[in-house]
Structures are given as structure tokens and as C-alpha cells.
């Protein structure tokens, strides 16, 4: 089955661009020409092109930078680079970034036609895969993801853009922000959705067992290895391997993992035989890996292999508008789970939930909702049912609606900052991190709102 492709030819030499476009057109494909990479990028934002054939050296944007921007707009757009100044280094770099091939001028049209034919087959296969995934999604629903706030929508948009590729993704964010849920969503939206999603918590496995957990072992490889066992890498072949708490991975195991990511090759513990694994690597951490790299506790090369696409998850306090959605969905699931009548939070209680700083994020919110659902006798969970740490917020939202909008905002902001300082024992750096602002901004707000730092020290 063949397909007519939409192809964009980009070259600052207008005559060369037109001649190449006409040659490709005679192969049966739709072509457009651009002599300027900036104009080409604008075209790519407005139209879908299956393939871009571009010159390597152009004024304004060089070919490799142009390639990166094309892939950022749409990972499915294939790119062929053409140059009169070929070098092994630039060819390797182009393929690493995502080019499908690299041709020297003058272009051999027979080779180009063969490559375009292969791309057309790939486009057809990709369309069939999407159709199969859509049918599968109707039968097997993906992970439940809740959130409409701008901060969270930006994360979902990024996941949508990178899911079709095999690029490694590193989820960053505080504990309880839903990193594994989003890793599962990434897998469900990828071309590996029918493959396995294997999760390994690097901080929950004893260090002496981690190597066997990852790579498997042969019988007799060590004391207690009474039978051969597959590792998680083999389990994830053809799918996604999610490395949770990657910062906890021991330094001595990091180069072994790096080799697998780079080459796809590994051996079971105690075996000499090399095996291959085709895996999409996804990792997550709540720690500052770049700081760990600077301190020498995490390998820089492994960090860059894992953080091809870093995704920063916003804390729950930055998603206050999503809290009613979380709460209502959780209440519905609890009513079904325990076969009890439905419950809801009062308006005042919900406002207090939205004003709270949530150091434990979504996990803390879910635990609180379940506890109150089970211990509250009434169908409505009132504000006075909330734990003591919510007292300041209940008082703030229960006050009569007087004063200006700015006064109300200042009151809520003061309560949030006071709560964060209380929880951190007056540590302004940690309080700023919890609040999702920088320390200088925190000090300015404390001064403006009249919050004394001395009250929280010691």
C-alpha cells in the first residue's frame, strides 16, 4: 500500500529547491518550496508535512538547529538533510537528533525515491497503529488524569507532543504530584501502548538485589539463585520501563544502566551471553539531579540520557482550581468502593482545601478525603470537620465577604506563607520551594504582608 506524501523542500538556493521539488513531484508526491528556514517553520505550524528535505547550510538557522525545531513542532515529521559539505560528525549528529537520512549534493534521485518510498510505508503503518490504539483505548481505558488548570494543561500538551517518539522522559516534581500516573499516560499515548509498562522503584529495592532486579540472573549466579530469572529490562522489551526515584540508584549501578540505554544490550547476572532490549526509558525523581551531578553522586552522562525531555510537574498548591475536580472524583470512587451514599464537601470546606498549601500534594489530598469520607456521619463534610492545620484557612474563608479583592487575596496569601513557614520551622529557602516561588520573592511578600521571620525560627 503506497501513500502520496506532502513534502516541503527547503533551500536558500531557489533554483536548487525548485529543481528538487519538481523531481519529487514527478515521483507522485505533493511538494512545496521555501527558500528561508524561518518561513518554513511558519508553514510547518500551519500545515502538516510528512517529510521535510532541507539544505544543511543556510543563513539564519543552520540545518541541525532547523532539524531540532522541526522535531519540536511535530515528532512525526520526517527530515532528510542535504549538503555539499558532508562530514561524518554532522551526519551522526543529524541522525541522533532525528533525521531519517543524510544525502550529499548532487542528490542521487534513485536513492532519494527509495528513501521516500520507505517513509511512505512508515506513514501508512503509523496511521494504522493510531487506528489500532484508538480501538484499544475504547476497550482498555488509560490512566485517569484529572486537571484543567493552565499549569497542568501545559504538562499534558508536552506529553501529547513527545509521546509518539521514543525519546527518554524525566518527570520532575515533589512527592505526591502524580509522576507515575503521567508516566503511564505517556505510555498509553505512545506507539508502545500494546507493550508492557514496567515500573521499578529504585529506592524500594535492597542495593544488593538491584542488579538482579534490573538484569535478571542465571541459575547459581549467587547464593539463593536457585533458578534463572528474567529481569525488569527483559519484561519491558517492546514497552516502557519506568524508573521511579531514579536519584536513589546506587552510583556503582549507574554505568551498567547507562550501557543498556545507549546500546540496548545487557547480560543477566552470571551470564556471558548478550541480549537486546527495545525499551522506552522514563524516569522520575523529587530530587535535584543537576545538583547531584555537581556533587558527583549522580553520573552526568546518565542524567543527560534520561533527561532528553524533562517534564516539571506543578505542585498541587499551584493547581488550586483543580482541587474540586480531584475531590469530587475521589468521593465518587469512594462511594462505589465502600458501597456507601455519596458525600460532598461544603462550599466553605472546599475553599479551605483550595487555600491550603498541600506539602504532600495529591497523595495528601486523597488521604484526607478518604479519611473524612469514612468518619463523617453527615452527607456534607463541613469546614469544622477539617483537621487542625486547616484552622487558619477556615477562619479566612468563613469571614464575611467585606473588604477589597486585594485584601482578600492578601489574607489568603499571608495564610499560605505562614503555613509554609510553620511547616519548615522558619526555613525560608524550603518554604519558598514548597510555595513554588523563589526565596527573594518570599522575603518581599513577607515584608509587604507584615510576616515576621523571627516568629518561625527555633
Q: Which domains does the chain have, with CATH numbers?
A: 6-131 (3.40.50.2300), 150-312 (3.40.50.300), 317-456 (1.10.8.60)
The reported pLDDT for the residue numbered 4 is 84
Q: Alpha-carbon distance 187 to 195, whole Å?
A: 9
Question: Among 106-115, 132-141, 182-191, which stretch is predicted with the lowest mean pLDDT?
Answer: 132-141
**Residue 246 neighbours by CB under 8 Å, 6+ apart:** 170, 202, 283, 284, 285, 289, 306
pTM of the model: 0.59
Q: What is the pLDDT of residues 183-208, one digit of tens each?
A: 999 999 999 998 899 999 999 998 88
| Residue 439 near residue 421, CB atoms below 8 Å | no
Q: Over pLDDT 90: what percentage of the chain?
A: 49
- In terms of residues, how long is the chain? 458
Q: What is the pLDDT of residues 208-247, one digit of tens each?
A: 889 999 999 888 888 777 777 889 999 999 999 999 999 9
| Residue 219 near residue 225, CB atoms below 8 Å | yes
| Residue 73 near residue 95, CB atoms below 8 Å | no
DSSP 320: G
CA dihedral 265, 277, 95, 168 (to 10 degrees): -110
* Torsion sign, CA atoms 150, 152, 158, 160: negative
Residue of higher predicted confidence among 148 and 144: 148
| Residue 29 near residue 80, CB atoms below 8 Å | no
Whether the predicted pLDDT of 314 surpasses 70: yes
The reported pLDDT for the residue numbered 88 is 67
Mean pLDDT of 72-79: 84
The reported pLDDT for the residue numbered 403 is 57
The reported pLDDT for the residue numbered 249 is 96
Pairing of strands 280-285, 240-244: parallel
Q: Where are the alpha helices (DSSP H) in 216-345?
A: 232-235, 254-263, 289-295, 300-306, 323-338
Residue of higher predicted confidence among 143 and 360: 360
Give residue 405's pLDDT band: very low, low, confident or very high (50, 70, 90). Answer: low
Whether the predicted pLDDT of 404 surpasses 80: no
Whether the predicted pLDDT of 456 surpasses 80: no
Q: What is the pLDDT of residues 243-288, one digit of tens each?
A: 999 999 999 999 999 999 999 999 999 888 889 999 999 999 999 9
User: Where is 7: in which H helix or E strand?
Assistant: strand 6-10
The reported pLDDT for the residue numbered 137 is 47
Whether the predicted pLDDT of 443 surpasses 70: yes
| Residue 186 near residue 326, CB atoms below 8 Å | no
Q: Where are the alpha helices (DSSP H) in 168-321?
A: 179-188, 207-215, 232-235, 254-263, 289-295, 300-306
| Residue 413 near residue 420, CB atoms below 8 Å | no
Whether the predicted pLDDT of 305 surpasses 80: yes
Query: Which residue, 228, 277, 229, 285, is CA-closest to 257?
Result: 277
Does the N-terminal peptide bond of residue 98 adopt cis geometry, omega within 30 degrees of 0? no
Average pLDDT, the chain: 86
Give residue 166's pLDDT band: very low, low, confident or very high (50, 70, 90). Answer: very high
Q: Alpha-carbon distance 236 to 213, whole Å?
A: 12
The reported pLDDT for the residue numbered 138 is 45
Residue 261: other Cβ atoms inside 10 A: 15
DSSP 229: B
| Residue 202 near residue 249, CB atoms below 8 Å | yes
Amino acid at each position: 500500500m503506497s501513500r502520496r506524501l506532502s513534502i516541503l523542500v527547503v533551500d536558500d538556493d531557489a533554483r536548487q529547491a525548485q529543481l528538487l521539488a519538481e523531481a519529487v513531484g514527478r515521483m507522485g508526491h505533493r511538494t512545496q518550496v521555501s527558500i528561508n528556514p524561518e518561513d518554513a517553520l511558519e508553514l510547518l505550524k500551519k500545515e502538516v508535512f510528512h517529510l521535510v528535505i532541507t539544505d544543511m547550510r543556510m543563513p539564519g538557522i543552520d540545518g541541525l538547529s532547523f532539524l531540532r525545531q522541526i522535531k519540536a513542532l511535530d515528532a512525526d515529521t520526517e527530515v532528510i538533510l542535504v549538503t555539499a559539505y558532508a562530514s561524518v560528525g554532522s551526519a551522526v549528529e543529524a541522525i541522533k537528533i532525528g533525521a531519517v537520512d543524510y544525502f550529499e549534493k548532487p542528490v542521487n534521485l534513485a536513492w532519494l525515491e527509495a528513501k521516500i518510498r520507505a517513509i511512505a510505508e512508515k506513514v501508512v503503518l503509523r496511521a494504522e497503529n493510531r487506528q489500532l490504539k484508538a480501538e484499544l483505548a475504547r476497550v482498555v481505558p488509560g490512566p485517569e488524569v484529572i486537571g484543567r488548570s493552565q499549569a497542568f494543561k501545559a504538562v499534558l500538551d508536552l506529553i501529547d507532543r513527545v509521546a509518539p517518539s521514543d525519546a527518554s522522559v524525566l518527570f520532575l516534581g515533589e512527592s505526591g504530584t502524580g509522576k507515575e500516573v503521567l508516566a503511564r499516560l505517556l505510555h498509553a499515548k505512545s506507539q508502545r501502548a500494546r507493550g508492557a509498562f514496567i515500573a521499578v522503584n529504585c529506592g524500594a529495592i535492597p542495593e544488593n538485589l538491584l542488579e538482579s532486579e534490573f538484569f535478571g540472573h542465571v541459575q547459581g549466579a549467587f547464593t539463593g539463585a536457585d533458578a534463572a530469572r528474567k529481569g525488569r529490562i527483559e519484561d519491558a522489551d517492546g514497552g516502557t520501563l519506568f524508573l521511579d526515584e531514579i536519584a536513589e540508584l546506587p552510583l556503582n549501578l549507574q554505568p551498567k544502566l547507562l550501557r543498556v540505554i545507549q546500546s540496548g544490550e545487557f547480560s543477566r547476572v552470571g551470564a556471558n551471553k548478550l541480549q537486546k532490549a527495545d525499551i522506552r526509558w522514563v524516569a522520575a525523581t523529587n530530587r535535584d539531579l543537576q545538583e547531584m551531578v555537581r556533587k558527583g553522586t549522580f553520573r552526568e552522562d546518565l542524567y543527560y540520557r534520561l533527561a532528553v525531555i524533562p517534564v516539571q510537574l506543578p505542585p498541587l498548591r499551584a493547581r488550586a482550581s483543580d482541587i474540586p475536580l480531584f475531590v469530587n472524583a475521589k468521593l465518587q470512587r469512594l462511594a462505589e468502593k465502600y458501597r456507601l451514599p455519596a458525600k460532598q464537601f461544603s462550599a466553605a470546606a472546599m475553599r479551605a482545601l483550595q487555600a491550603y498549601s498541600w506539602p504532600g500534594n495529591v497523595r495528601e489530598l486523597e488521604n484526607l478525603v478518604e479519611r473524612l469520607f469514612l468518619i463523617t456521619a453527615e452527607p456534607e463534610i463541613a469546614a469544622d470537620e477539617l483537621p487542625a492545620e486547616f484552622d487558619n484557612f477556615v477562619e479566612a474563608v468563613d469571614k464575611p465577604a467585606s473588604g477589597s479583592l486585594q485584601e482578600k487575596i492578601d489574607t489568603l496569601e499571608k495564610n499560605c506563607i505562614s503555613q509554609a513557614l510553620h511547616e519548615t520551622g522558619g526555613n525560608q529557602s524550603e518554604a519558598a520551594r514548597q510555595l513554588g516561588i523563589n526565596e527573594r520573592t518570599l522575603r518581599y511578600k513577607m515584608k509587604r504582608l507584615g510576616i515576621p521571620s523571627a516568629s518561625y525560627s527555633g
